[in-house]
Chain A
Amino acid sequence: MATEDTAGDQLGRNAALRFEQLKGRLFEAALIAATLVGIVSLLVLFAQISIDAFQPRSASPTWFLVYLGTLVTPTAGFTLYARRRPAVRETNALAFAAVFGGLLLSSVIYVVVESLSPYDVFIYTAFAASPPVLVSVYDRATDERQYTGPAIPASIVAGIAAAALLYDSIKQPIGVAAEWIMYFGLVTVPAALVVAWLTTSRRDSRAGAVAGGAVVAGGLAVAAASIATGANTSLFVVFFSAFVVPTGYVLRRSIRRDPAGRVGVAGPFVLVGGALLGAAVVERFGVQNPETFLTPTLLLQSWDGLRAGNAGVYPQIVGSIVIVGFMAVLAFPVGIGAAVYLEEYAPDTGIRGRLATLLEVNISNLAGVPSVVYGLLGLALFRRTLGLGTGVVVSAAGTLGLLILPIVIVSTQEALRSVPNALRQGSYGMGASRWQTLREVVLPEAIPGTLTGTILALARAIGETAPLVIIAVATTKYSPPSGLFSSATALPLQIFAASANAKPEFRHGVVPAAAVVLLILMLLMNATAIVIRNKYARDN
């Protein structure tokens, strides 16, 4: 055969083969290019928006050198070091989560409670939290558990109702107390209880009592110290309880339990220390800082449409957090309940089975309804039917809650579906009822998946603008919302409103900076969801 092949034939075949190979390679290259083009163009746009927000060109080269030396090199070195060692990496991730999570948590608590009035929040929280605690104490003491399940939510509702009824007569005596005492009750006491409970479950009740007592004593000491120095007592109490205490607890535990990964604890401190050191050097030697628009003014002041140096988005940030937080309270229980019904309760056949199919189709259709249409629903429901005022927190949160309901349901359904059936059968085999199986077996297994989905829904909600515009939420307000029925505004609305401002220091300065703040909020949420998902995937 081979002898019959002339040279020309072989050449022709080789050429055809080469052509095929070339075609395959070009096709693959085109596919890669198509996959990357969207990502790259978004990155380019992000880069432009961040350059406008940070204004790096206005800084002197020395500034970059200083931070390269103090911040970038040590952090990069430490990250490289940690990447090689799994134990260190794990501790490092934990330390980062504790430090920055604690910082974020304490700022959010302080800012939100401050805008809603600490006295009101304290009264309502105390009334809502004490009855269920009493119920569970009673149930422990008497071993009479039959009524505990229904009694806990009922007692919470009763507590809130009682707080609303008695509000006027309680506000007077409580209003006399200093503000920091409210924060102490709101943050320090729960933190102490959680620490005590965790320590008790790990060691014994004596150690638990000591740990809880230490937190309370520490909180009092911080309060006393800041009163003596005239600092903002409330802020320091919150930071101590929601930042120092959890960070200390997590770091101490990982240092004790995990000698191999001990070094990882230093990760966040290398970062923060590097930033502080860099700032000190820049200050000391008078290096030219960039004229960035991401300033404390932006985060702590209210909007000023005329002078870019005075413009801030504090009320918008707080408004976004309050709206999205209250939305979570409204939408998540309903969404999770609906998913549980569809996955665990609904039969496959018969009339109710068909009803369940209808519900599924309906939910997937709701997920495709444009967000403006939800705005119209919110307008008709909250403004016309319920007669709420224009742009109050409740109607904004309710509208967004309806919008994310399908997302929450679908992601919870997926999480429930991934719980192996053997676990359910095992639980039924032990004589547990359907509800008991759900509460003790299925839901705990599905928590990571549910959490991932719900955080992604929150991230979607915080950037949602169109429904808020339709229900006529104010774009610019000069104070954060003071209650659930007071009017609020949100960060994306301010970006929308300010995009019409053609002054260069707004168009290429303050507004991109506000957009960067929104993007950071959203990316933080996405990152949290991804971390939870990855951790969960690794554990399985």
Chain B
Amino acid sequence: MSSESAEGSSLQRSGFVVRKERFYGRLIAACAVLTVAVTVGIILALSGQALSFWSQISPITFFTGTNWSPVIAEEYGVLPLVSGTLIVTVFSALIALPIGLAAAIYLSEYASDKARSVLKPALEILAGVPTVIYGYMALVYVTPMIDSLLPFSVQLIPAAVPVLPEFTLVMPSLGTFNALSASIVVGIMIIPMVSSISEDALSAVPDSLRQGGYGLGSTKFDVSTKIVVPSATSGIVASYVLAISRAIGETMAVTMAMGMSPQMPYFPNVLRNLAESSQTITAAMVQIAGADSLGTGPTYEAMFALGITLFAITLTMNAFAELVRRRFREEY
């Protein structure tokens, strides 16, 4: 600022000021480049240890093994963990995806401004509550609450039908640690992820489409479900993928509520999977980190192998969501 007065008529900034400007620009660019360094750091940190792990235990054994027992039996088959993660992901998605989409439709199409200004921040709080508190609530409050309604059994094919074998879906009473309560809290936690991104997509649908629908005599129900939602499909799918990826990476709630016993899925009575303890990929990492034998050995490195698996899954899903959003977006 003072340089102008010192220079007098010259419009040229003094050499020092130019250098100062350039220095600040570089400093700020360095901050931005640091974010790439974080990604590179994650990949290097994970792959270094994971490769060392896979040189001792072959990736085939790792990805196809059906027994995960790193501390006791030193068996490293990841499938039980994948199954645990899938159970939580599928059931939390069953809860969160319809509810989140319905909330998004309500907020974008039906709610008054006042209702929206209250409900939107309230929904955001669902995602802001620390996951450790969700885990505690699932363990201490949700499980007993649901357990008081159980057990129940539904006969899908009654015994009276002569040809087919009798088939009954049985929901046994819940264990202390169970996948059901974990799925419920994870579902609650990812609702805002679906609702806020979907709502953005729904609000971006231009009003002229809605007016066109009304002009043709459609009801609000028809306009919402047959015009607005289909037009926003790409955004809705992206929000679904992001929410599922968040559920896959969720750690504390599933560790606390679902326990630490890796389990291959029960079939055909799938409901039994919900009632019993299982272990997710993330929970297995927490268990290894919590064990004292830290620092070296295949168990410690297995944590990184799990980490890179998780990282690869979530990264792929996030990239896919971004792709869907860009590629299939309807331009108006």
Contact = CB atoms under 8 A, between A and B. Distances in A.
Interface of A: 20, 23-24, 27-28, 30-32, 34-35, 37-39, 41-42, 45, 48-49, 143-147, 149-150, 333-338, 340-342, 345-346, 356, 358-359, 361-366, 368-377, 379-381, 402, 405-406, 409, 431-436, 456, 459-460, 462-466, 469-472, 492, 495-496, 499, 507-508, 511-512, 515, 518-519, 522, 526, 530
Contact of A376 (B24, B45, B129, B220): B45
Given A24-B221, A35-B123, A431-B4, A368 B132 contact: no
B80 to A, nearest CB: 18
A342 B107 CA distance: 32
Contact of B285 (A406, A462, A465, A470): A470
User: Which of B34, B36, B129 has the most chain A CB atoms closer than 10 A to its own CB?
Assistant: B129
Given A39-B126, A433-B17, 5 more contacts: A30-B102, A34-B98, A341-B32, A459-B128, A515-B133
| 9 tightest A-B CB contacts, nearest first | A463-B130, A370-B249, A337-B31, A34-B102, A380-B45, A31-B106, A466-B251, A341-B32, A368-B318
A337 B103 contact: no
7 contacts: A35-B102, A38-B123, A41-B188, A336-B31, A435-B21, A460-B128, A463-B130
B32 to A, nearest CB: 4
Nearest to A495: B132
A321 to B, nearest CB: 15
Contact of B245 (A144, A338, A366, A368): A368
Interface string B122-158: 1101101111110111011110000000000000000
A464 B251 CA distance: 10
A391 to B, nearest CB: 11
Given A38-B191, A338-B31, A370-B248, A149 B20 contact: yes
Given A42-B188, A338-B34, A515-B133, A145 B2 contact: yes
Contacts of B131: 463, 465-466
Nearest to B46: A376
A477 to B, nearest CB: 16
A218 B25 CA distance: 46
Contacts of A24: 219-221
A365 B39 contact: yes
A456 B121 CA distance: 12
A470 to B, nearest CB: 5
Contacts of B36: 358-359, 362
B234 interface: no
A346 B128 CA distance: 32
Interface string B96-120: 0011001101110011000000010
A28 B102 contact: no
B227 interface: no
B130 A469 contact: no
Interface in B192-238: 192, 195, 219-221, 224-225
Contact of A365 (B110, B251, B282, B318): B318
B128 A371 contact: no
Nearest to B118: A39
Contacts of B311: 369-370, 373
Tell me the interface secondary structure of chain A in the complex. helix
Contact of B307 (A373, A406, A471): A373
User: Which of A38, A345, A361 has the most chain B CB atoms closer than 10 A to its own CB?
Assistant: A38
A422 to B, nearest CB: 21
A402 B32 contact: no
Given A372-B310, A376-B46, A35 B103 contact: yes
A20 B304 CA distance: 57
B67 interface: no
A35 B128 contact: no
A459 B124 CA distance: 13
Nearest to A406: B35
Interface in B293-332: 294, 303-304, 307, 310-311, 314-315, 317-319, 322
Contacts of A368: 242, 245-246, 314-315, 317-318
Nearest to A523: B125
Contacts of A469: 252, 286, 289-290
B35 A359 contact: yes
A8 to B, nearest CB: 23
B132 A463 contact: yes
Nearest to A431: B4
Nearest to A28: B110
Interface in B232-263: 242, 245-246, 248-252, 255-256
Contacts of B161: none
B31 A465 contact: no
A289 to B, nearest CB: 25
Given A23-B221, A370-B310, A492-B132, A334 B34 contact: yes
B269 interface: no
